[in-house]
A = this chain, B = another copy of it.
């Protein structure tokens, strides 16, 4: 079977993306990043989701981009906002998806994988520049030039199957594919057991998605 690398954060979107890649017939290798994020529970969730959905291999690698600072997700001194605002929020992590895709590109080449799947989503997202279709297209153009595999005629494809879906569409799709969203963690400030705050951007988008999809929200929330 052809192989694929799937960026797996432990959240709802990437779990759905993994289910889509498995259904499409790929042997899936999942990649999670410990980048100093405050929501460590998502790393536990990523391993759990990979096992539950049947990934062939799961790898967690540590990249100390938190050292650079500049984001509420990696800097304890910057609070996670609890109300939506205009523009790109402080939870933006500089160059995160570029870094994640570039590492996936390296692993994909060693695995001779045909596709890298990334669960970015340009509709119900947080305004991050590296979740837009034009960003994915630019990374695809780069991948056509960057590797030995590409020069030898087999560049890896970058697929972003959620890119045009709403959060409700994503949930319906994953639900139909049997994804157990109780295993996933989206919250930017989940506690160690993975319980969600219910108030950050990620929680609000997720909760609204379940409501719009008409599917019961299985998220475990922290007591207020």
Name A residues whose Cβ lies closer than 8 Å to a Cβ of B.
59, 61-65, 67-70, 88, 92-99, 101-103, 105-107, 109-110, 129-130, 132, 134-135, 138-139, 141-142, 144-148, 150-151
Whole-angstrom CA separation of A70 from B62 in the bound complex:
19
Query: Taking A107-B68, A151-B129 as contacts, is the C-beta distance between A138 and B135 under 8 angstroms?
Result: no
Give chain B residues whose Cβ lies under 8 Å from the Cβ of A139. 142
Central interface residue in A130, A134, A148, by most chain B CB within 10 Å: A148
State the main secondary structure of chain A at its contact with B.
helix
User: Given known contacts A61-B63, A95-B103, A141-B141, what 11 new A-B pairs fall within 8 Å (CB)?
Assistant: A65-B106, A94-B109, A94-B147, A95-B146, A98-B142, A98-B146, A98-B147, A101-B102, A129-B147, A129-B151, A135-B145
Give chain B residues whose Cβ lies under 8 Å from the Cβ of A101. 102
Among residues of B, the one whose C-beta sits closest to the C-beta of A100 is B102
B147 with A106: CB separation less than 8 A: no
Q: Given B59, B70, B135, B146, which contacts A109 in the complex, CB threshold below 8 Å?
A: B70
A-B pairs with lowest CB-CB distance, top 4: A95-B106, A70-B110, A94-B109, A102-B102
B68 with A110: CB separation less than 8 A: yes
Among residues of B, the one whose C-beta sits closest to the C-beta of A105 is B95
Whole-angstrom CA separation of A187 from B98 in the bound complex:
30
Whole-angstrom CA separation of A159 from B84 in the bound complex:
37
Q: How many copies, total?
A: 2
Q: Given B88, B132, B146, which contacts A135 in the complex, CB threshold below 8 Å?
A: B146
Query: Taking A88-B148, A129-B146, A145-B132 as contacts, is the C-beta distance between A109 and B95 under 8 angstroms?
Result: yes
Query: Taking A95-B105, A95-B106, A105-B95 as contacts, is the C-beta distance between A142 and B142 under 8 angstroms?
Result: yes
Whole-angstrom CA separation of A216 from B152 in the bound complex:
39
Among residues of B, the one whose C-beta sits closest to the C-beta of A61 is B64
